[in-house]
Structure formats: C-alpha cells, structure tokens
C-alpha cells in the first residue's frame, strides 16, 4: 500500500543509509517560494564581516541602521540590493548593542547557563505575502506578525529595545517591517515571509 506522501516515507529507516524519496510533484501555489536568508545576532561586526566576507567570500549588500541596532546584509558577490528578491544564499547579521552583556550561543550549546540565543530566523521570499499567510493559517500554523504591523514587540528584540530604552526604531525600518510577516514553525522558530520587491516610501 502506498504512503499518502511518498516524499516523506514512513519509518523505521535502515540505520546508516541514505533514504532517497522521489521528488515532490510541482506545486503551482508555491512555485516561486524560495529559502532566502538566515538571521544571526552578532557581537562584533568587524570580526563577523572579516569571517563571512574575507574568509568565506560573501560581500556586504547593504548596511541598515534601524536605530537601536544595525543590520548587515550579506550575499554572494553578484548580489545587489536590486536583486535581493531573486537571490539565494543571503545572511542577515543583527548587531544589537543592548545585548552587549548577553552571551550568544548556538542551539547546539546545551547546558550553557546564562547564555542567550544567537540564531534569529529563517527568511522565505514569496510573490504575495498575504497569500502566503493565508496558506500558513490554512495549514494550521501560527502567524506571529501579520502585514501592516510595526510594533517593536513583534521584532524579536531585547526587552530594553522594545521598551524604547535604546532609542527609537527608525521610520525607515518600520516602513520595511510593515511589508513583511513572521510565522512560527512547529518547534517555535520564527520564519520571516518577505515580498520579492520591498517598496520604498511613497510607492503603491
């Protein structure tokens, strides 16, 4: 009897072997959905850029001062801000001065007392963010931050930033933030849903 989802064959799986499910059939609803970026929190931008750019070959696509924190967006050397919506292999680095006394760790660092989280979120590019959110809800998953909202509480930042103790979040960042959304995966990780084209202020 065939399994209802051949791309996820039922176990148990033989130990020490690669299981190669058949490819999933085409899905018109998600044909242009792409894994776009990962976000990491960093402590030392100079050291991080030396590692990711000089050592591993990425380059800085843009730097964005959001007010209480700074974003460094990295990608392959042929990536520009105009091609972000179609690019792959992007990395978003958050330098949050409010976290200066918080030790970041990997999710693999079990048992580290007093440590904070370094991993931020996974970003997906989609043609229509609202359509993607409706799809997420139809599948029974949670929308954390819908389109149009720009409150600091939905930005995944330290409490000191949310309370405004580190200054105000720039209107430029809020304009971008209103155009994207966040949903929660089954393990609680934040997944950012990003439009293929982020509109500048004054555009449609």
Residue positions annotated with a catalytic role: 192
Residues in contact with 30: Cβ distance below 8 Å, sequence separation at least 6, in sequence order: 135
C-beta separation of 160 from 98 below 8 A: yes
Q: How many residues does the chain have?
A: 204
DSSP state of 25: P
Q: Is 94 exposed, middle or buried (0-12, 13-18, 19+ CB in 10 A)?
A: buried
Task: For residue 131, count other CB atoms closer than 10 A to its CB.
Answer: 12
Task: Tell me the CA end-to-end span of the chain in Å, nearest whole number.
Answer: 52
The Cα–Cα gap between 153 and 162 comes to: 6
């Amino acid at each position: 009897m065939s399994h209802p989802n051949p791309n996820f064959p039922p176990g148990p799986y033989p130990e020490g072997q690669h299981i190669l499910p058949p490819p999933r059939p085409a899905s018109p609803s998600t044909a242009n959905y792409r894994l776009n970026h990962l976000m990491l929190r960093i402590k030392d931008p100079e050291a991080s850029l030396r590692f990711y750019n000089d050592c591993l070959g990425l380059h800085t696509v843009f730097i964005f001062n959001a007010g209480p924190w700074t974003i460094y967006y990295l990608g392959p050397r042929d990536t520009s801000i105009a091609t972000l919506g179609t690019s792959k292999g992007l990395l978003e680095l958050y330098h949050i001065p409010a976290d200066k006394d918080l030790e970041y760790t990997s999710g693999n660092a079990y048992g580290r007392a007093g440590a904070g989280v370094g991993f931020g979120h996974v970003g997906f590019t989609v043609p229509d963010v609202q359509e993607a959110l409706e799809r997420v809800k139809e599948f029974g998953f949670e929308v954390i931050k819908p389109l149009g909202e720009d409150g600091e509480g939905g930005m995944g930042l330290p409490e000191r930033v949310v309370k405004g103790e580190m200054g105000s979040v720039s209107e430029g960042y809020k304009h971008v933030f209103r155009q994207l959304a966040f949903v929660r995966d089954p393990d609680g990780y934040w997944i950012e849903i990003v439009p293929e084209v982020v509109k500048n202020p004054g555009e449609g």
